[in-house]
């Protein structure tokens, strides 16, 4: 093998150094999209929680789907009060309302009260024979001979509506998740099931 002249090694090392240095300098001046996050994180100003007063929204702005409690639900009634008992369904009970009520019941009520409103739904299901006791107080039956709608004379439409809207015993409130029409649809659906 022929021996290379010494200046060849010097020029080779110099060319390699210049090429490497040029690539490094170029990579530092170009910002790639994935580097933007890192730059923002490194250069951002850190503020601890409650260290700075929160900015107030611009005047007149409201959150999406915002319904003030009084406007959305009318009076704040108690389900056992005479006014609460006297509430009646303000919507016409037609196929559209029953369909909406059936769908809403299936989504929000059936997991605890069962699809047929017989109680002991899949979420709260207790099977004492199999040693499965999820809840000491499973969701009650709503319709049928043992249903709370049939046994309790206090279960007027207003009572059922306010129970769904405000919650009761261990049942949570669904007044935020459901519109007024959807709640009355559930009441109409339960009355249809109870026939």
What dotted CATH number matches 72-193? 1.10.760.10
For the stretch 57-76, pLDDT in tens is: 788 777 666 655 555 455 56
The model carries a pTM of: 0.60
Output the furthest CA–CA distance in the chain (Å, rounded). Answer: 111
In this predicted structure, which of 104-113, 126-135, 153-162 has the lowest mean pLDDT? 126-135
Q: Distance between CA 44 and CA 42 in Å, rounded?
A: 6
Q: Give residue limits of the domains in the chain.
A: 72-193
Higher pLDDT, 175 or 136: 175
For residue 174, the tally of other CB atoms under 10 A from its CB is: 18
pLDDT (tens digit per residue) in 98-118: 999 999 999 999 988 888 888
Share of the chain above pLDDT 90, in %: 14
147 Cβ contact partners less than 8 Å away, ≥ 6 residues apart? 117, 118, 119, 140, 141, 194
User: Are the CB atoms for 84 and 78 separated by under 8 Å?
Assistant: yes
User: Which range has the worst mean pLDDT, 1-5, 59-63, 121-125?
Assistant: 1-5
Q: 180-193 and 157-166 helices cross at what angle (nearest 10)?
A: 130
């Amino acid at each position: 093998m022929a021996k290379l002249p010494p200046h060849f090694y010097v020029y080779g090392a110099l060319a390699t150094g210049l090429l490497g240095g040029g690539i490094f300098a170029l990579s530092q001046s170009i910002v790639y999209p994935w580097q933007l996050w890192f730059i923002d994180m490194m250069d951002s100003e850190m503020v601890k929680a409650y260290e700075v007063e929160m900015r107030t929204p611009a005047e007149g702005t409201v959150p999406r789907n915002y319904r003030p409690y009084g406007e959305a639900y009318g009076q704040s009634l108690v389900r056992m009060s005479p006014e609460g008992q006297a509430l009646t369904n303000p919507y016409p009970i037609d196929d559209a309302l029953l369909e909406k009520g059936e769908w809403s019941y299936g989504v929000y009520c059936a997991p605890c009260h069962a699809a047929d409103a017989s109680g002991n739904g899949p979420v709260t299901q207790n099977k004492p024979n199999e040693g499965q006791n999820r809840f000491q107080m499973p969701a009650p039956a709503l319709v049928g001979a043992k249903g709370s709608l049939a046994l309790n004379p206090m279960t007027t439409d207003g009572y059922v509506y306010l129970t769904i809207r405000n919650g009761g015993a261990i049942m949570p409130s669904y007044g935020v998740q459901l519109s007024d029409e959807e709640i009355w649809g559930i009441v109409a659906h339960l009355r249809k099931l109870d026939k």
